[in-house]
Homo-oligomer: A and B are copies of this chain.
Amino acid sequence: MVETQRFEISMKGQGDARDITEKVAAAVSASRARAGTVTVFVVGSTAAVTTIEFEPGAVVDLNRMFERLAPRHEQYQHHFRWGDDNGSSHVRAALLGPSITVPLVDGGLTLGTWQQLTLVEFDTRPRRREIVVQIVGE
């Protein structure tokens, strides 16, 4: 059985992060699947999906690490070629990755209590994001 669910979220731009666990769990509940895998995929190349203990401090810490890795106000070749200002967004998103796959067991995601599915926005302007939740199982 394959079931596809989608939802959208409006993000405020670089540094914004959202706990999407409930939305993904609702998508799973709306399907008939009880066991399998749930792949959460964000469409686009300047956002990413991961898990973190979703609390404001850890989100600040995560963004600070990315600022160290790929500072927003450095020069990027992507800027020179395209006139954009979001070179930092592209490399951060490529590093974190657009998708995550979570086991589905007995109708529930196997996340830990303090482990939330999190959409991380890296673009330098507000974006409306489309999330695809792909459920493969039985």
A residues with a Cβ closer than 8 A to B are 1-2, 4, 35-37, 39, 41, 43-45, 50-53, 55-58, 60-62, 65, 68-70, 76-82, 87, 90-91, 93-105, 110-112, 114-116, 118, 132, 134, 136-138
Contacts and interface: CB of A to CB of B under 8 A. Distances in A.
B103 A78 contact: no
Copies in the complex: 3
A93 B65 CA distance: 12
A78 B66 CA distance: 16
Contacts of A102: 39, 41, 99
A87 to B, nearest CB: 5
A116 B43 CA distance: 11
Contacts of A45: 51-53, 112, 114-116
Given A51-B98, A94-B52, A114 B58 contact: no
Nearest to A42: B112
